[in-house]
């Protein structure tokens, strides 16, 4: 059970999350349907920039035999994805598939004094062996990265605002850890 949830503006993605101020961690469940004929979904944080390049990604991949697993990737470039540890701590990383959707579960350490987190998400094509192939370049896929969205309220366990920047990544601004959003929005349980 997560404290909060939000429909992300593109690709039919949904993020459930709980922010724990005591250890500056974010527990997430990211859910999306893979691209048509596809077999992976990804949720990433870019600690250094606002685009895909430099993102530290959590990916759920579905193999040809139907098994689903989660891995971490450093997105070094548009055609360079490297399976590796991320620049921030990740634990309890798992993935599952059901009802034509895939979900990534994880907890991750966020910088204690961070004023924002640049988030990136994507749904992908095939998995070749155990590696993801490039995601489709359809409007929805491109819009999750390159489109401007209006500001919307997205609640982290204590309080935050999400503001999509001009490239489409969500920035989470932690405003006041003393405010509780629990009465404002009801989230579905996963």
For 46-64, the pLDDT digits (tens) are 877 777 888 899 999 999 8
Model's pTM, two decimal places? Answer: 0.74
Band (114; pLDDT cuts 50, 70, 90): low
pLDDT at 135: 76
pLDDT at 103: 97
For Cα atoms 20, 14, 8, give the angle at the middle one, nearest 5 degrees.
100
Which tokens hold the place of 17? Answer: 């999350």
Q: 4-174: which CATH architecture?
A: Sandwich (2.60)
What is the number of H-type helices and E-type strands within the chain?
Answer: 1, 14
pLDDT at 116: 66
pLDDT digits (tens, 9 = 90+) for 64-112: 898 999 999 998 887 777 799 999 999 999 999 998 899 999 999 987 7
Residue with tokens 């360079």: 80
Listed by start position, the domains of the chain span 4-174
The Cα-based distances of 98 to 64, 71, 103, 129 in angstroms read: 15, 18, 8, 21
């Amino acid at each position: 059970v997560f404290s909060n949830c939000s429909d992300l503006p593109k690709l039919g993605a949904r993020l459930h999350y709980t922010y724990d101020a005591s250890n500056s961690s974010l527990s997430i469940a990211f859910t999306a349907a893979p691209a048509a004929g596809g077999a992976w979904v990804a949720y990433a944080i870019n600690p250094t920039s606002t685009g895909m390049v430099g993102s530290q990604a959590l990916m759920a991949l579905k193999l040809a035999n139907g098994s689903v697993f989660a891995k971490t990737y450093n997105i070094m470039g548009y055609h360079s994805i490297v399976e590796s540890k991320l620049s921030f701590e990740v634990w309890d990383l798992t993935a599952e598939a059901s009802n034509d959707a895939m979900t990534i579960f994880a907890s991750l350490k966020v910088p204690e004094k961070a004023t924002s987190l640049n988030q990136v998400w994507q749904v992908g094509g095939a998995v070749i062996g155990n590696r993801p192939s490039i995601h489709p370049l359809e409007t929805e896929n491109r819009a999750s990265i390159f489109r401007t969205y209006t500001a919307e309220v997205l609640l982290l366990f204590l309080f935050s605002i999400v503001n999509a920047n001009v490239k489409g990544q969500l920035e989470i601004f932690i405003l006041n850890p003393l405010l509780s959003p629990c009465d404002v929005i009801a989230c579905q349980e996963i």
